């Protein structure tokens, strides 16, 4: 029976990249410390900040909300109903149960109720991959909710695996502009709230373990719209490398932040464009009407598309 590296009690998880095993108590300590370090290293949050957590009902967003409360932040949640069939129905139930069990404040927006469309319909109407309309909708609604609610920052549950996979994709094409923008904090500016990713030093295996030892019920199912996408291919490649050489994934992402990101700082700075207020909703945009309002116009005019139809149509 393997033992906790810290206290020698029975371990609940082995972490090859740390070359150690941990009990439930010291796994939590490790997770808290990694999140504190991420927040401190990148100046993500300060004491007293009001934080809006992007809550999906999955392990990462619920672990994030739990960890931020543990660390003393004033963190509320926002759940967006994306209308992806039973996947969305269930994810909302997990998010609501987590909040009500702990007496936390969860805001909710349902895409169809509030804006007359859902993600499968938007994908069909725009003839693009569902992740495109989904990401655009979430970014806009989180930004708007943070601004309207007076939050200092939006926090998302992107973990080390997510960030490393995005980094691998950008690196395989040496997309210098995208590489320059890949950073775990995006400062507030011109109507946008600060965006932070406090879980970037934790793998998805670690956030899942956090949920288990903290008895957090989360949605295990992955989004059916994402199945087979490139991002998951990059994750698989990184997992193969990690199996050959434990720690390779964390080194890849964290050494990028340390050694390469500073080299690309001038690319980030050169990116400030002139923004004006969207003629429809007032959100900052480079055009006359923002991308979200254009999406709403196209998607809400389209006949509703059930998720099953989209999954069956072989869109990839």
By CB under 8 A, the residues from 176 to 195 that bind its own copies are 176
Which of these ranges, 74-82, 201-209, 219-227, 254-262, lies near its own copies under the rule CB under 8 A?
254-262
Q: Does 129 bind its own copies (CB under 8 A)?
A: no
> Do residues 59 and 158 make contact, with C-beta atoms less than 8 angstroms apart?
no
d(CA 23, CA 8): 8
Q: Does 263 bind its own copies (CB under 8 A)?
A: yes
By CB under 8 A, the residues from 220 to 239 that bind its own copies are 230, 233, 237
Q: Does 255 bind its own copies (CB under 8 A)?
A: yes
Q: Does 171 bind its own copies (CB under 8 A)?
A: yes
d(CA 72, CA 6): 25
Q: Does 277 bind its own copies (CB under 8 A)?
A: no
Which of these ranges, 3-11, 134-142, 246-254, 301-309, lies near its own copies under the rule CB under 8 A?
246-254
Q: Which of 7, 40, 172, 279 binds its own copies (CB under 8 A)?
A: 172
Which of these ranges, 70-78, 98-106, 120-128, 173-181, lies near its own copies under the rule CB under 8 A?
173-181
Choice between 71 and 260, CB closer to its own copies: 260
Q: How many CB atoms lie within 10 A of CB 74?
A: 14
d(CA 233, CA 146): 33
Q: What DSSP element (H or E) covers 273?
A: none
Q: Which class for 179: exposed (0-12), middle (13-18), buried (19 or more C-beta within 10 A)? A: buried
d(CA 155, CA 151): 10
Q: Does 243 bind its own copies (CB under 8 A)?
A: no
d(CA 107, CA 47): 22
Choice between 205 and 230, CB closer to its own copies: 230
Choice between 252 and 292, CB closer to its own copies: 252
| Least distance (Å) between residue 72 CB and its own copies | 33
Backbone angles phi, psi at 129, to 5 degrees: -65, 145
> Do residues 158 and 116 make contact, with C-beta atoms less than 8 angstroms apart?
no
21 contacts: CB under 8 Å, gap ≥ 6 = 2, 3, 4, 5, 11, 13, 14, 15
| Least distance (Å) between residue 44 CB and its own copies | 21
Please compute, for residue 105, the number of CA atoms within 13 A of its CA located in the half-sphere on the CB side.
Answer: 8
Choice between 183 and 256, CB closer to its own copies: 256
Choice between 174 and 273, CB closer to its own copies: 174
| Least distance (Å) between residue 269 CB and its own copies | 14
Binding footprint of its own copies, residue count (CB under 8 A): 23
Q: Which of 8, 259, 312, 316 binds its own copies (CB under 8 A)?
A: 259
> Do residues 135 and 176 make contact, with C-beta atoms less than 8 angstroms apart?
no
Choice between 73 and 256, CB closer to its own copies: 256
Q: Does 174 bind its own copies (CB under 8 A)?
A: yes
Residue 41 Cα distances to 24, 114, 198, 274, 284, angstroms: 26, 38, 10, 30, 29
Q: Catalog residues that contact its own copies under the rule CB under 8 A.
A: 171-176, 230, 233, 237, 240-241, 244-245, 248, 251-252, 255-256, 258-260, 263-264
């Amino acid at each position: 029976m393997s033992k906790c590296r810290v206290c020698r009690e029975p371990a609940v998880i082995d972490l090859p990249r740390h070359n150690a095993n941990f009990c439930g108590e010291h796994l939590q300590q490790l997770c808290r410390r990694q999140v504190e370090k991420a927040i401190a290293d990148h100046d993500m949050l300060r004491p007293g900040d009001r934080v809006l957590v992007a809550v999906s009902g999955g392990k990462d967003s619920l672990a994030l909300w739990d960890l931020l409360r543990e660390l003393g932040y004033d963190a509320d949640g926002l759940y967006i109903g994306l209308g992806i069939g039973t996947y969305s129905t269930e994810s909302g139930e997990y998010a609501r149960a987590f909040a009500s069990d702990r007496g936390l404040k969860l805001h909710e927006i349902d895409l169809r109720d509030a804006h007359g469309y859902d993600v499968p319909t938007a994908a069909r109407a725009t003839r693009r991959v569902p992740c495109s309309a989904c990401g655009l909708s979430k970014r806009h609604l989180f930004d708007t909710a943070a601004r309207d609610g007076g939050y200092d920052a939006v926090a998302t549950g992107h973990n080390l695996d997510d960030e490393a996979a995005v980094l691998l994709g950008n690196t395989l094409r040496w997309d210098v502009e995208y590489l320059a923008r890949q950073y775990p904090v995006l400062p507030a500016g011109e109507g946008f709230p600060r965006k932070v990713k406090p879980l970037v030093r934790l793998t998805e295996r670690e956030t899942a373990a956090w949920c288990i030892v903290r008895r957090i019920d989360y949605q295990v199912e992955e989004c059916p719209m994402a199945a087979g996408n490139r991002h998951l291919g990059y994750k698989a490649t990184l997992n193969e490398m990690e199996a050959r050489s434990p720690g390779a994934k964390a080194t890849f992402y964290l050494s990028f932040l340390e050694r390469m990101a500073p080299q690309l700082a001038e690319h980030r700075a050169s990116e400030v464009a002139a923004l004006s207020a969207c003629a429809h909703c007032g959100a900052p945009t480079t055009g006359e009407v923002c991308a979200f309002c254009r999406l709403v116009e196209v998607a809400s005019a389209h006949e509703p598309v059930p998720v099953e139809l989209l999954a069956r149509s072989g869109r990839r």
